[in-house]
Amino acid sequence: MPDRTGLARLAIHTTLILLAGFFLVPLLVVVLNALRSNSDIAHTGVIGLPRELTWSNFSRTWSSYCISEHCDGVQPYFWNSVRMAVPATAISTMLGALNGYSLALWRFRGDTIVFGIMTLGVFLPEQMRLVPWVIVLRDLGLFNTISGLVLIHTVQGISFTTLFCRNYYTSIPADLLKAARIDGAGFFRIFGRIVLPLSPPILIVTVIWQFTGIWNEYLYGVTFSAGEQQPITAALIALSARLSEAPQYGEQSAAVLLAAAPTLVVYLFGGRYFLRGLTAGAVK
Amino acid sequence: MTLRERWGRVLPHLVIWPPIVISCAYVLVFSAWTVWVSFTRSTLLPEYSWAGWRNYSTMLATRNWQIAYTNLFIYGVCFVVFTMAVGLLLAVLIDQRVRAENVYRAIFLYPLAVSFVVTGTVWGWLLNPTIGVQSLVRGLGWTSFRFDWLIDRDMAIYTIVIAGVWQASGFAMALLLAGLRSVDADLLKSAQIDGAGPVRMYLRVVFPTIGPIFIAVLVMLLQFAIKTYDLVVALTAGGPGLASTLPSVVVYDFMFQRGELAEGSAAAVMLLASLAIVLVPYGLYRRWQQRRAGSHA
């Protein structure tokens, strides 16, 4: 319902531009500070333009900065996050697709109950699972390992991925499957020949959401890993705690930027799918 | 039946069932386990001697828990109201066929791709009086300007509201905008013929038809609010003192910092109960809605 009077248009655009400015401030502040020297920031605060560009913040933060007595920069933690998020995303998406397929298209007795329980898993707060995970990880010998975190995020992720995939696969016409079954195709052939080729849209959504969620997760990371095994979110908190004595906002901004970069890049290139996942996850 | 055929029949079951069984067991067994621990005398390690409701009554009597719940109430209400308001404003503005709609959408939604840890850290700088907004405004000449909520006991919880609204408004906008766009064009046209202006059109025609989306967004936001943890840790660490602590922070504190697993678990169960207060009525409402839709069809 466009209102075409000039004044109203002006008001709409001004408000939008002001709000966009407000939303961009934190990003701008981090980017600019990552390029400023610490003395510059100490002088004028975190909000300001760089007096001269200091590129060295990035290299120092990446490879030689000290975080709780280890002076290898954020690099090891960044790679920890990669080694955690990539396998957990891949495995949980694969299992979610298979689960979603069997729940949506190979109905069995009690399938709605099974699906209901899995959906509950999406809403269950992480705090409800911390103590059992402590015990399970200890008994499996996976405490303070990346594999332990991969296991947690995979099991946790199956709830989400099954929900996404099952809701998507229910729209595949049952006749298509019936015809394939009459032709003698079994469970895996139908999955490989019919369902999988229809899946790229939902698989992209699932991968984006899983990756973003796992990369950004903090509570499990800080509870089940320590020191050099921590993912980058936990390292960032450790970094700020240490720095509260002698703040070095230049390096810290570079660290924040490096921690945020992977999910921001995914968002930038997959924004369309990001939105689709949002509506699929929230409204269904 | 040959061995091969039999194998072909068994294999799908071997593939399907383990992940399904594991994830159902995960939800049920882990929840039951935590509930159980909350009724035991566990401290540093879980042990299974019965303690009855003692952990719950101890927890409810602690100052931490009382402050955390008061804070959750303040934060929950403010966060939901402001996020909905900003989200709705953004959705309506973008709905006016503005140029570069996609750019605006991308800008308002990007905070959602960033972790709470990052959001909390950066807002922590902006709201820090010695280096953030306060020092900027003072540097411009208004030397008596004060904006020190971050270190003010009474106001610290509102800094979490600010960061939370910044992060979640785009989410509300995206869902509400999808709702606005789904309103039947004929409905709008007939309202226009009746002479309704843009304001009345939104208030009388558009908003009532997307009522269910409002409720869905509301429930999702309440759920975010109850689960909020990382944001507080990164922004205020619950401080100053306990001023901005939330139930999720108290759970972690009791479980892993004080080594009171049973009391921490009791707190976690109460957190789950708060979530159920929001989600169960919504689930029933959805079912009622679907049944009504079914009987109309």
* A243 CA to centre of own chain: 26
Q: Which region among B12-16, B63-67, B100-104 has the lowest average model confidence (pLDDT)?
A: B12-16
> Which residues of chain B have a CB within 8 Å of the CB of A98?
15-16, 19
Q: What pLDDT is recorded for position B11?
A: 80
Structural domain boundaries in chain A: 4-63, 76-280
The whole-angstrom distance between B247's CA and the closest CA on chain A is 10
Cβ of B116 within 8 Å of Cβ of A133? The answer is no
- Nearest-CB residue to B104 (from A3, A20, A128): A20
Please name the member of A25, A131, A283 whose beta carbon is closest to the beta carbon of B46.
A131
Shortest CB distance from A223 goes to which of B117, B121, B256?
B256
Q: Which residues of B touch A74 (CB under 8 A)?
A: none
- What does the block give as tokens for B102? 């996609």
**Res A81: pLDDT:** 96
Q: A-chain residues within 8 Å CB-CB of B133?
A: 47
Q: Is the pLDDT of residue B1 over 80?
A: no
Is the domain defined by A76-280 classed in CATH 1.10.3720.10?
yes
Q: Is A31 on the interface with B (CB under 8 A)?
A: no
Which residues pair with residue A67 across a beta bridge?
A70
DSSP string, chain B: --HHHHHHHHHHHHHHHHHHHHHHHHHHHHHHHHHHHTTB--SSS----B-TTHHHHHHHHSHHHHHHHHHHHHHHHHHHHHHHHHHHHHHHHHTTT-TTHHHHHHHHHGGGGS-HHHHHHHHHHHH-TTTSHHHHHHHTT-TT----GGG-TTTHHHHHHHHHHHHHHHHHHHHHHHHHHHS-HHHHHHHHHTT--HHHIIIIIIHHHTHHHHHHHHHHHHHHHHH--HHHHHHTTT-STTTT--HHHHHHIIIIIS--HHHHHHHHHHHHHHHHHHHHHHHHHHHHHHHHHHHH-
Residue A176 touches chain B, beta carbons under 8 Å: no
Cα B216 to chain centroid distance, Å, stands at 12
Q: Residue A233 and residue B115: Cβ atoms within 8 Å? A: yes
Cβ contact A279–B23 (<8 Å): no
Interface of A with B in 146-165 (CB under 8 A): 155-156, 158-159, 162
What pLDDT is stored for residue B58 in this prediction? 92
pLDDT 10s digits, B242-283: 999 999 999 999 999 998 999 999 999 999 999 999 999 998
**What's the mean pLDDT when you consider all of chain A?**
87
Q: Which of B31, B115, B268 sits opposite A218 (nearest CB)?
A: B115
Its ipTM equals 0.90
Please provide the size of chain B in residues.
Answer: 297
Q: What is the pLDDT of residue A1?
A: 47
pLDDT in tens, A200-234: 989 998 999 999 999 999 999 999 998 889 999 99
Which chain B residues have a beta carbon less than 8 Å from that of A264?
Answer: 110, 113-114
> How far is Cα A92 from Cα A54, in angstroms, rounded to an integer?
41
Chain B closest CA to A2's CA: distance in Å?
A: 5
Report the pLDDT value the prediction gives residue B132, as an integer from 0 to 100. 87
A16-41 tens-digit pLDDT: 999 999 999 999 999 999 898 888 88
> What average pLDDT does this structure show over B153-179?
94
Is B131 close to A121, i.e. CB distance below 8 A? no
Selected for mutation to probe chain A from B94, B101, B102, B114 (highest A CB count within 10 Å) is B114
Percent of chain B with pLDDT over 90: 56
Residues making up chain A, counted from first to last? 284
Best mutation target, B90, B117, B175, B229, to test chain A (most A CBs within 10 A): B117
For A67-94, how does the pLDDT look when each residue is reduced to its tens digit (9 = 90+)? 767 778 889 999 999 999 999 999 999 9
Residue of B nearest to A26 (CA): B122
Q: What percent of chain A has pLDDT over 90?
A: 41
Q: Which residues in chain B (55-84) have CB-CB distances under 8 A to chain A?
A: none
Q: How confident is the model at residue A244 (pLDDT cuts 50, 70, 90)?
A: low
pLDDT given for residue B296 in this prediction: 67
**Percent of chain B residues past pLDDT 70, beyond the cut:** 99
What pLDDT was estimated at residue B214?
92
Helix (H, G, I), strand (E, B) or coil at A67: strand
Confidence of residue A284 (pLDDT cuts 50, 70, 90): very low
Give CA–CA dist B119/B163, Å, rounded: 7
**Residue numbers of A between 61 and 90 with CB closer than 8 Å to B:** none
Which pLDDT band holds residue A243 (cuts at 50, 70, 90)? low
pLDDT bracket for residue A242 (50, 70, 90): low
A7 interfaces chain B, CB cutoff of 8 Å: no
B192–A contact, CB cutoff 8 A? yes
Question: What local confidence, expressed as pLDDT, does residue B77 receive?
Answer: 97
Is A117–B24 a contact, with Cβ atoms under 8 angstroms apart?
yes
Residue A256 with chain B: CB contacts under 8 Å: 118, 121-122
For the segment A164-204, what is each residue's pLDDT rounded down to a tens digit?
Answer: 898 889 888 888 888 888 888 888 888 988 899 989 989 99
